[in-house]
Amino acid sequence: MRNVLILPCETRVREFDAKLLLACHAVERGYDVIVGWKRSIDLNVLRLPLGIYVGKSVTNRNLLMFRILRRLGHMLTAWDEEGLVYASTDVYQRTKVGVEALNEPRCLFAWGEANAEAWRSVDGFAGTPIVKAGNPRVDLLRPELRGYFSEQAAALRAEHGDFVLINTNFSRLNHYYESQSRQRKLLEDGGDAIADDADPRLGWAAHKAALFEAFKAMVPALARRFPQATIVVRPHPSENAQIWLDVSADCGNVRVIHAGNIAAWLQAARVTIHNGCTTAVESFLLDRPAIAYQPVASDEYDHYLPNGLSIQATDGHELEAHVARALAGELASCPEHEAGREALARAHIESRGGAPACELILDGLAPYRRHTPHKPAIAKRLAGVAAAEGRALFKRTAALFPNNPNHVAYQRHMFPSIGAAEVKATVARFGRLLGRFENIRVTPWEENAFRLTVRH
């Protein structure tokens, strides 16, 4: 039986708590689970017991790792952590989907029908089975688990008072490493790297650049308009926070912070401001208000789902009016809008109602546990071993060089250190809220990666 489940996480604050919740559900169904930092898991792939590996995206950057796993005898599945929110199907397919990577897994887990259809319509898609399941991140926002973040939210309110949260998502223009700011490079060279006239990436970059400038102007303007409130700017994990420190340098009530799970911040904030950000979907699922600031708009490049689940502000005056109402506790939308938003959410998130995503995912994996894993032919396995060792050498060497996304400083920024005691405490907190998970044992496996098993 394939009773080992492997759950790699790239970004700790975005993925780890949710995948740990999935791990707890899986242990109850008889799995041993390895969950944690993707870098640690992938670099130690030759030590992994044969099992089911759940990839976190389907870009062709994953292709080598996918093929290594298959050659070593693992069963590969995948979902896309960023498959819920995107500008258009064309932009999503060109930037977040590699057809070869999409065809490697034995099955795929989609957020909902929109995500599934975006995969089905990829030219060259080989018909891999798709399970519409949602994502464990949605489970953390369900009413039965909202208490998981209550203590953190209370601490944030105590520290920051009445605060406005601004979430930014400009990593392609303002990456942690300037050399990785691909949209900025695209604009600087006028799209010379794009040979296809129908390619939307240059237009998308120009649209994002206009929004970026508008957000840089908006932060100090809001700080001056509402001096009694704290303005918290939370950059995308891959962004360079310095630009937000610079634009708010003269504003004593602005804080630039990237720490902790976003759900606690959304619960604690009086209102969240964004444009095209997944956090607006999370705000909606938590019954918290979000404002989509849209001083420039585009049917082709705007992210329809998060903006559609939000209250719109098309200029600074409208934004300030909404924020004033939010700080006064009076921001609300009409019932007709809420009904439309609920329908929109259900069309994109399979686990919005009914069974949680963790259960739907494990149900989707059930048929694959019936197959007995076996080591591939020796030649195939040796090829996998050689590729794994070569990849590990490259990754460890690249980690020594600044401005490389493999650099150790950036990797630790994306996944700060966590210990077994904290993981055990999180499992216990899940257990208290759900009345389960009493017999789960947590042991360290590698750096920032852990093994969860049944306690005997």
**Is residue 35 a part of any domain in this protein?**
yes
Q: Torsions phi, psi of 271, nearest 5?
A: -165, 155
**Is residue 144 a part of any domain in this protein?**
no
- CB-count exposure of residue 66 (10 Å: 0-12, 13-18, 19+): buried
Instruction: Retrieve residue 47's tokens.
Output: 């030590």
Q: Torsions phi, psi of 215, nearest 5?
A: -70, -35
Reply yes or no on whether the pLDDT at 109 is more than 70: yes
Considering the domain architecture, whether residues 314 and 361 belong to the same structural domain is answered as no
Residue type, 176: Y
Q: How many CB atoms lie within 10 A of CB 429?
A: 17
Q: Which of 348, 365, 389 is the last residue of a domain?
A: 348
pLDDT digits (tens, 9 = 90+) for 187-210: 888 766 666 767 787 888 889 999
| pLDDT of res. 145 | 93
Reply yes or no on whether the pLDDT at 231 is more than 70: yes
| Domain total in the chain | 2
| pLDDT of res. 242 | 93
- Which residues have C-beta within 8 Å of that of residue 253, sequence separation ≥ 6? 223, 226, 227, 229, 230, 231
Q: For the residues 403-410, what does the mean pLDDT come to? A: 81
Residue with tokens 């926002």: 141
Reply yes or no on whether the pLDDT at 453 is more than 80: yes
Of residues 406 and 306, the one with the higher pLDDT is 306
Taking the C-alpha atoms of residue 154 and residue 176, their distance in angstroms, rounded to an integer, is 30
pLDDT digits (tens, 9 = 90+) for 171-180: 888 888 787 7
Considering the domain architecture, whether residues 189 and 325 belong to the same structural domain is answered as yes
136: left (phi over 0), alpha (psi -120 to 50) or beta: alpha
Q: For the residues 325-345, what does the mean pLDDT come to? A: 81
Considering the domain architecture, whether residues 337 and 419 belong to the same structural domain is answered as no
Reply yes or no on whether the pLDDT at 1 is more than 50: no
Reply yes or no on whether the pLDDT at 116 is more than 60: yes
pLDDT digits (tens, 9 = 90+) for 26-71: 999 999 999 999 999 999 999 999 999 999 999 999 999 999 999 9
Confidence of residue 410 (pLDDT cuts 50, 70, 90): confident
pLDDT digits (tens, 9 = 90+) for 282-324: 999 999 999 999 999 998 889 999 999 999 999 999 999 999 9
**Is residue 143 a part of any domain in this protein?**
no
**Is residue 90 a part of any domain in this protein?**
yes
Considering the domain architecture, whether residues 70 and 160 belong to the same structural domain is answered as no
Considering the domain architecture, whether residues 342 and 367 belong to the same structural domain is answered as no
| pLDDT of res. 444 | 97
Instruction: Retrieve residue 226's tokens.
Output: 């509402």
Reply yes or no on whether the pLDDT at 350 is more than 60: yes
Considering the domain architecture, whether residues 205 and 341 belong to the same structural domain is answered as yes
Mean of pLDDT over the chain: 91
What is the CATH classification number for the domain harbouring 258?
3.40.50.2000
Q: 358 near 142, Cβ under 8 Å?
A: no
Considering the domain architecture, whether residues 223 and 280 belong to the same structural domain is answered as yes
Of residues 47 and 401, the one with the higher pLDDT is 47
**Is residue 140 a part of any domain in this protein?**
no
Instruction: Retrieve residue 201's tokens.
Output: 């990436």
Q: Which of 319, 348, 377 is the last residue of a domain?
A: 348
Taking the C-alpha atoms of residue 140 and residue 424, their distance in angstroms, rounded to an integer, is 17
Taking the C-alpha atoms of residue 259 and residue 156, their distance in angstroms, rounded to an integer, is 11
The range of the structural domain enclosing residue 416 comes to 4-135+352-454
**Is residue 78 a part of any domain in this protein?**
yes
Considering the domain architecture, whether residues 196 and 303 belong to the same structural domain is answered as yes
Considering the domain architecture, whether residues 252 and 198 belong to the same structural domain is answered as yes
**Is residue 370 a part of any domain in this protein?**
yes
| pLDDT of res. 13 | 85
Q: Which of 348, 373, 400 is the last residue of a domain?
A: 348
Residue type, 193: A
Reply yes or no on whether the pLDDT at 2 is more than 80: no
Considering the domain architecture, whether residues 341 and 362 belong to the same structural domain is answered as no
Considering the domain architecture, whether residues 171 and 320 belong to the same structural domain is answered as yes
**Is residue 141 a part of any domain in this protein?**
no
What pTM was computed for the model? 0.89
| pLDDT of res. 106 | 94
Considering the domain architecture, whether residues 342 and 360 belong to the same structural domain is answered as no
| pLDDT of res. 204 | 86
Percent residues over pLDDT 90 in the chain: 70
| pLDDT of res. 192 | 66
| pLDDT of res. 197 | 67
